[in-house]
Amino acid sequence: MPIDDRVPPSNGTSNPPAGGGSRSVPNGKPTRAAHYGVSMDGFGTVDESVFPCGPGAPRAARTAVTDWLARALAPRMLDDMRLIVTELVTNSVRHAELRAGDAITVRIRLAEHGLRLEVENPGTAGQIKASRPGARAGGGLGLQLVERLCMSWGVARERDTMVWVEMEH
């Protein structure tokens, strides 16, 4: 599926807006804020956590997604979501040029027939696109995997960057 740089549907009033400005993580520890409202696009937020940027962020995000969705998804779809969140958070850590104290927000939103994962960070460096794997540089497969595993995905950039994916369940 092609990359879609369109702004995702409205978050509604019960969810934090995309591009809401930089967040920092107090004391370098993950924070959690659950939202259970339903937004105008039909997706209700199941959970949201904020992780400090650093090498432990991908694992912490993967653990959080597992905790949130283990009872709601079939095992294969849960494995796909774990892989996707790991890739997106790793990309935030490696490529967003974040500073110490910057935060990475992971949000899951459910609808009747699908779910949406959002990974947001205050960085705006570089292009976010699936690229051909590079033998010399290594890497390059992550967003290709995301592209294959999800129904659609895209990027919203204002003051922050949010990468979102949608999947049917």
43 burial level (CB within 10 Å; 0-12, 13-18, 19+):
buried
Q: Domain spans of the chain?
A: 26-168
Amino acid at 141: L
Q: Tokens at residue 69, please?
A: 């969705």
119 burial level (CB within 10 Å; 0-12, 13-18, 19+):
buried
Are 81 and 149 in contact, with CB atoms under 8 Å apart? no
DSSP letter at 138?
-
> Bridge-partner residues for 47, per DSSP?
108
> Do you know the residue count of the chain?
169
pTM score? 0.75
Percent of the chain with pLDDT over 70: 69
Determine phi and psi for 155, rounding to 5 degrees.
-135, 135
The whole-number pLDDT of residue 27 equals 53
Cβ neighbours of residue 126 under 8 Å, at least 6 residues apart?
A: 95, 96, 97
Sheet strand arrangement including 31-32: 31-32, 44-52, 103-110, 114-121, 161-168, 152-157
Are 40 and 9 in contact, with CB atoms under 8 Å apart? yes
Query: Rounded mean pLDDT of the chain?
Result: 77
Phi-psi domain of 72 (left: phi exceeds 0; alpha: psi -120 through 50; beta: other): alpha
The whole-number pLDDT of residue 119 equals 97
**Superfamily designation of domain 26-168:** Histidine kinase-like ATPase, C-terminal domain (3.30.565.10)
The tens digit of pLDDT for each residue in 55-102 reads: 999 999 999 999 999 988 899 999 999 999 999 999 999 999 999 889
The whole-number pLDDT of residue 134 equals 64
Would the pLDDT of 4 be above 60? no
The tens digit of pLDDT for each residue in 17-33 reads: 333 444 555 555 555 44
